[in-house]
Amino acid sequence: MALAFSGGLDTTVCVPLLEEEYGYDDVIGVTVDVGQPESEFEEAEETADALDLEHYVVDAKDEFAELCLDSVRANATYQGYPLGTALARPVIAEAILEVAEEQGCEGIAHGCTGKGNDQLRFEAVWRDSDLEVIAPVRELGLTREWEQEYAAEKDLPVEGGSGGDWSIDTNLWSRSVEGDDLEDPSYVPPEDIYAWTQAPTGDTQEIEISFEQGYPVAVDGVEYEPVELIEHLNGVAGAYGVGRTDSMEDRMLGLKVRENYEHPAATTLLNAHVALEGLVLTQEEREFKQLIDQRWSKKGYEGLVDAPLVGALEGFIAETQKRVTGTVTIRFEGGQARAVARDSDYAAYSAEHASFDTETVGKIKQEDATGVAKYHGFQRRLANEAIAANADDEEVELATDGSGDATETTESASDGSDVGTEEDE
């Protein structure tokens, strides 16, 4: 049995439970590196040693970084924040599955609950295999309190089962913080929930990001490999408070949860990419690509980046990105990463044509727009005239119908009073 292993409370209690409840005497733990802090690997290794658990660590940072930069070309966000955890899960799941198959495992397990998204993202990958998929926490209906008591009873190597006040997930692209007081939407988070970003100040800085076919490749003229590029920008942009999101997020199962995120590099690159697309793509391309990007983002959030639909969407994305080559100047100020300049040989823009200081637009004279202006809104004018004319007729008809009803009522009343008089007589 291969277990997705972090060394935290959930995955730690899963080790003996897989033996006691599911009959798996031989369990191996697999930890996948997608950019977590070194301390997390140390904790996982120490916990694995204490459990006498065979432990594998897989470096998948390069694969994950490449997927993150693919997401930049798709301007991938979900409900206002860059996808991070969602993109990491399929990469982690694939790496764990490879180890499980190499080691001849019959089953594969995770420590996710039945309330979150990650169970779906992991299992979407694993259920392509012939391995038995097990989710002890979900299937046994475990609570955090039960796990803590169980860990104490079994003397498992966990620090009270909480690991701190917050539940934190970190990878190259983002850092998410949730749980405890943060579950209350009215609670104002303290500054100490943040680790990647400093509180914004009045300081500013400008950097230049270079793109080739939609992929960021250099900062201030220095070329970086994907992992190095993301790490570099996390440090530079984070120092100016860039990339904080406090979100009420709608999960796939329908629950609404509060999440706090840090994503300085992601925010910077996405803003720069959108700015460059605005320079080189036509209006039609930009409008249609928004639909493509939304669908890519939705599949990314679901952890289904290998779906046939995504491949089809990426065909369109790749075609548009052939011209998304150039540079964007980003200014960091007030916690924002704002595009303040952009340049490309593929710009669908002419300063001469757009200038108020030139009389013509190429061979087009300004007076040529008169005919367009006359036609512009023509159908609207016709429709409004028809609505107004018919509204007058309807008012007259209503007034006529109303007086007719009043007459009939009066006549009926008169008839009634006559009858009443006869009866009185």
Residues flagged as binding site for L-citrulline: 81, 117, 121, 167, 176, 249, 261
Could you list the residues known to form a binding site, using ranges: 4-12, 81, 111, 113, 117-118, 121, 167, 176, 249, 261
- Confirm whether 293 is a catalytic residue: no
Rounded to an integer, what distance in angstroms lies between the CA atom of residue 150 and that of residue 144? 10
33, 71, 73, 89: which is the annotated catalytic residue? 89
Contact partners, residue 269, CB within 8 Å, separation at least 6: 69, 72, 209, 216, 233
Q: How many CB atoms lie within 10 A of CB 215?
A: 19
Sort strands 364-365 and 360-361 into parallel, antiparallel or unpaired. Answer: antiparallel
CA 36, distance to chain mean position in Å, is: 19
Using only the alpha carbons of the chain, give its radius of gyration: 31
33, 118, 169, 293: which is the annotated catalytic residue? 118
Q: How many CB atoms lie within 10 A of CB 135?
A: 17
- Confirm whether 251 is a catalytic residue: no
Rounded to an integer, what distance in angstroms lies between the CA atom of residue 401 and that of residue 393? 12
Residue 82 near residue 174, CB atoms below 8 Å? yes
- Confirm whether 118 is a catalytic residue: yes
Q: Which SS3 state, helix, strand or coil, does residue 73 take?
A: helix
Phi, psi for 315 (deg, rounded to 5): -65, -45
Residue 250 structure tokens: 């709608």
Eight-class DSSP state of 193:
G
Could you list the residues known to form a binding site for L-aspartate, using ranges: 113, 117-118
162, 165, 167, 286: which is the annotated catalytic residue? 167
Rounded to an integer, what distance in angstroms lies between the CA atom of residue 17 and that of residue 10? 11
Single-letter amino acid code for the residue at 145: E
Contact partners, residue 311, CB within 8 Å, separation at least 6: none
Eight-class DSSP state of 368:
G
Residue 67 structure tokens: 């997927």
The residues that are catalytic are 10, 89, 118, 167
